[in-house]
């Protein structure tokens, strides 16, 4: 009998469930979008009940498509948008407030206060992160200070409330509230977890005023944590056996098992990760040190660079400007001109991530003339996404002490051939795209498969990984340097005009 694994990929704009077979093939895929809530500029929230409904609907549809009975699935893996923060009642599972999304910038002032207190070196040394509103710790502090009529902190200290990133929330629901856990990768994104000792850090919790009673138990990325119970359309007793944050799951799904191997995922944002092995490499160039995965007693680390806006820049062209009617239209529009006509777009729509970490930066379009068109802006948008990644690759090469030899890509936007060709050109590095670009979900499935015996080891996983296409650089060096010079000038204007450091 063919083994089947379920993978829940809970993302920023929707939830996807895939059914994966033991040979690494995706047998079925179902997705459901959910609403984005923007209470004020800079604030981004999700309703966790809408998230849960999207997951259960996608589960039912994926199983229907696959023609597989839920009880015949060997295990479930969960991967999730990281840093997004949920606070709920243990007794009822009810969230006290909408989830605060990783893109949300409401705690920028609190991060600035912590920096002014001289605490950033401590946080960076323990967690591998910088003090930025991107991460969960200050979001959780905001929830404790501002919801439930001011009673949230007292209730948290009394053990009535639970904190979690989205993986914790989903596993709690999948297990009928029996499990309050997270894995090391999601814990490493909270500003509260010592990535070297592998524990919640009491000193950091004190600085953030977060009661330890709130926190989930931290587990490895591949083990049987518990079993499903009471989920509509899903059999009881299916092993919940794999958890990883989305970017780490994609690194695993891309089979980047060797030191120096790297991938970039193009989703709502774009995220570059490189395997650094059992060494937690401290970045001197604005990148993050994070846990890639832990399997058994072995912890693997990664360097990470994050661009907050990638696919969401295309959504902005569609939803706010009306330049395109669907995201898929951008490639044809951008191809209708031979270049961007000198237009440069820095898509800092929610600040700049690595390597700049400027929460106050805002998007900027330069080089507009009377002849600039929607097509030029579309092309500049794709180029801006790729140029952000070029900054990350430059920083990563400096930290690693050697250039990136090639890059593996995944996520929805990697289907855009124009974007991928410009990316390989601007990096002057070959790019590999796999047959299945759902590598985030694949990674979750692979982790669950390791725990349940579907895959005996990572070598077996590497053997089922299939490559679709390789992109090779074609742009002359002089043109590449001209693009980079124009980009760096635009980024400096983005920051200096709005008070960035």
With a cut of 60, say whether residue 437 has pLDDT above it.
yes
DSSP of 310-333: SHHHHHHIIIII-S-SSGGGHHHH
Please give the pLDDT value at position 499.
41
Q: What is the CA radius of gyration of the chain?
A: 22
Average pLDDT, the chain: 91
Mean pLDDT confidence for 246-272:
92
Q: What is the pLDDT of residues 277-312, one digit of tens each?
A: 998 988 889 898 999 999 998 999 999 998 888 888
Given a cut of 80, is residue 497 above it in pLDDT? no
Q: Cα separation of 371 and 369, whole Å?
A: 5
What mean pLDDT comes out for the span 93-114? 93
Instruction: Please tell me the predicted confidence (pLDDT) of residue 356.
Output: 87
16: confidence class by pLDDT, cuts 50, 70, 90: very high
Q: Kindly report, residue by residue over 169-196, the tens digit of the pLDDT.
A: 999 999 999 999 999 999 999 999 999 9
What is the pTM assigned to this prediction?
0.88
pLDDT of residue 465: 84
Nearest of 299, 297, 250, 294 to residue 270 by alpha carbon: 250
Question: Residue 67 — very low, low, confident or very high, per pLDDT cuts 50/70/90?
Answer: confident
pLDDT computed for residue 362 by the predictor: 86
High-pLDDT (> 70) share of the chain, %: 98
Pairing state of beta strands 45-46 and 73-80?
Answer: unpaired
On whether the CB atoms of residues 412 and 373 are closer than 8 A, the answer is no
Give the pLDDT of residue 1: 55
Least confident of 5-19, 318-332, 353-367, 453-467: 353-367
* Whether pLDDT at 147 is above 60: yes
pLDDT for 498 equals: 44
DSSP secondary structure, 193-256, as one string: EETTTTEE-HHHHHHHT--GGGPPEEE-SEEEEEE--S-TTS-TT-EEEEEEEHHHHHHHHTT-
């Amino acid at each position: 009998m063919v083994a089947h694994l379920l993978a829940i990929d809970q993302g920023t704009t929707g939830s996807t469930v895939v059914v994966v077979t033991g040979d690494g093939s995706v047998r079925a895929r179902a997705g459901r979008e959910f609403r984005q809530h923007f209470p004020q500029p800079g604030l981004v929230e999700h309703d966790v009940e809408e998230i849960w409904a999207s997951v259960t609907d996608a589960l039912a549809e994926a199983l229907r498509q696959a023609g597989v009975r839920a009880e015949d699935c060997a295990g479930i893996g969960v991967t999730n948008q990281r840093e997004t923060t949920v606070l709920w009642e243990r007794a009822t599972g009810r969230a006290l407030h909408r989830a605060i999304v990783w893109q949300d910038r409401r705690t920028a002032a609190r991060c600035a206060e912590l920096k002014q207190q001289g605490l950033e070196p401590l946080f960076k040394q323990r967690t591998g992160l910088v003090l930025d509103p991107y991460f969960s710790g200050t979001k959780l502090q905001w929830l404790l200070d501002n919801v439930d009529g001011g009673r949230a902190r007292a209730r948290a200290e009394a053990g009535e409330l639970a904190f979690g990133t989205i993986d914790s929330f989903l596993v709690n629901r999948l297990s009928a509230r029996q499990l309050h856990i997270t894995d090391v990768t999601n814990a490493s994104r909270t500003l509260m977890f010592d990535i070297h000792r592998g524990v919640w850090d009491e000193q950091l919790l004190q600085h953030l005023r977060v009661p330890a009673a709130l926190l989930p138990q931290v587990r490895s990325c591949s083990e049987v944590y518990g079993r499903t119970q009471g989920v509509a359309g899903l059999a009881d007793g299916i092993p919940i056996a794999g958890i990883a944050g989305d970017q780490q799951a994609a690194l695993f799904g891309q089979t980047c098992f060797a030191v120096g191997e790297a991938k970039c995922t193009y989703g709502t944002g774009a995220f570059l990760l490189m395997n650094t092995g059992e060494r937690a490499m401290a970045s001197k160039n604005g990148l993050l040190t994070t846990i890639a995965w832990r399997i058994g007693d072995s912890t693997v680390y990664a360097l990470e660079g994050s661009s907050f806006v990638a696919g969401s820049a295309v959504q902005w062209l569609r939803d706010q400007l009306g330049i395109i009617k669907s995201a898929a239209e951008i490639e044809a529009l951008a191809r209708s001109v031979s270049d961007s006509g000198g237009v440069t777009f820095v898509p800092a729509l929610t600040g700049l991530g690595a390597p700049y970490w400027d929460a106050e930066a805002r998007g900027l379009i330069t080089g507009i003339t009377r002849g600039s068109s929607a097509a030029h802006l579309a092309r500049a948008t794709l180029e801006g996404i790729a140029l952000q990644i070029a900054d990350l690759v430059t920083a990563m090469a400096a930290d690693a002490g050697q250039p990136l030899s090639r890059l593996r890509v995944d996520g929805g936007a990697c289907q855009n051939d124009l974007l991928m060709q410009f990316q390989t050109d601007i990096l002057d590095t070959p790019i590999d795209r796999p047959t299945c670009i759902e590598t985030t979900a694949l990674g979750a499935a692979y982790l669950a498969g390791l725990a349940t015996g579907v895959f005996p080891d990572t070598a077996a996983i590497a053997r089922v990984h299939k490559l679709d296409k390789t992109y090779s650089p074609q742009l002359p060096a002089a043109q590449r340097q001209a693009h980079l010079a124009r980009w760096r000038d635009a980024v400096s204007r983005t920051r200096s005009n709005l008070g960035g450091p």
